[in-house]
Amino acid sequence: MGQGLWRVARNQQLQQEGYSEQGYLSRDQSRRMAANNISNTSHRKQVQGGIDIYHLLKARKSKEQEGFINLEMLPPELSFTILSYLNATDLCLASCVWQDLANDELLWQGLCKSTWGHCSIYNKNPPLGFSFRKLYMQLDEGSLTFNANPEEGVNYFMSKGILDDSPKEIAKFIFCTRTLNWKKLRIYLDERRDVLDDLVTLHNFRNQFLPNALREFFRHIHAPEERGEYLETLITKFSHRFCACNPDLMRELGLSPDAVYVLCYSLILLSIDLTSPHVKNKMSKREFIRNTRRAAQNISEDFVGHLYDNIYLIGHVAA
């Protein structure tokens, strides 16, 4: 009996020290004992002016347990700034957690206008039950429809009241939108020359060097893959628009829309010559100047030389 009482007392002592009856620490008991020991000796282990490693790890662990930041606990302007970096898909997912924040109209308005810069509905009084989140879904669906069938896509936008039935409004929409398939857009503009005319007038080529202006033009209105009537129409419209934007330069250089037309064709041919791997004997600067001035005699040699240098250094004008 004496031995039994001794064993009970001994077990209680061992348990207080962190040991079990079998003579080793359990996992939970070891963690508690280590935490107590570290806590008691933390001040002794601190280097004067240094950082307490234990408290640093404890703070890091507590942050990991907390997970991501609750945006509802932040100031509203900071929460909206964070959510404004999300795309539509991520914003929809965020609305599952922060419904009031992620469904805010300003966020969805920003997404709409950053992707579709101009819509007729932006300048109208919103109808009853209007929301920019719903508008975003309609714009996305309409763009997908346009990329499958341009005429049906435009009709969809009109049926939803997003676009007015006006060549100028359609041209503005195309000019400010980057989600439309350029091949389908080329087909649509070839069929709708009235929209093409208004689209050309939206470009501002003032004080731009001719090859750079031509590149910008073909970034919005893609050139056809083969020479033909549509390419001639594009270059003609560009030439007149470029001259209209730079009247002083045209008078100084003595250029007319017909001369700019010749230069544009020369730049396209030079671009193909210098960038095509199938052309082994590349056109020299001297040859380009001679051929171009033969077609347009009033153009100075220095100006034509600068055109060649631009294509040689920067690349294709219609790539």
Q: What is the DSSP string of 153-186?
A: HHHHHHHTTSS-S-HHHHHHHHHTB--S-HHHHH
Q: What is the mean pLDDT of the chain?
A: 82
What top-level class would CATH report for the domain 75-174? mainly alpha
The two three-digit tokens of residue 166, written as one number: 């006006």
Report percent pLDDT > 90 for the chain: 53
Q: With a cut of 90, say whether residue 307 has pLDDT above it.
A: yes
Q: With a cut of 90, say whether residue 228 has pLDDT above it.
A: no
Helix (H) or strand (E) holding 20: none
177 - beta bridge partners? 116
Greater confidence, 15 or 265?
265
Give the pLDDT score at 19. 43
Q: With a cut of 90, say whether residue 178 has pLDDT above it.
A: no
Using left for φ > 0, alpha for ψ between -120 and 50, and beta otherwise, residue 149 falls in: beta
Give the pLDDT score at 58. 53
Query: Which fold is adopted by the domain 203-314?
Result: Arf Nucleotide-binding Site Opener; domain 2 (1.10.1000)
Give the pLDDT score at 49. 43
223 DSSP assignment: P
Task: Mean pLDDT check: name the lowest of 38-42, 53-57, 151-155.
Answer: 38-42
The arithmetic mean of pLDDT across residues 169-191, rounded, is 95
pLDDT tens digits, one per residue of 50-60? 445 555 445 54
The two three-digit tokens of residue 238, written as one number: 């560009």
pTM passes above 0.85: no
CA–CA dist 150, 138 (Å, integer):
15
pLDDT tens digits, one per residue of 257-301? 999 999 999 999 999 999 988 888 999 999 999 999 888 777 889
Q: With a cut of 90, say whether residue 196 has pLDDT above it.
A: yes
The arithmetic mean of pLDDT across residues 161-185, rounded, is 95
Give the pLDDT score at 101. 86
Domain layout of the chain by residue ranges: 75-174, 203-314
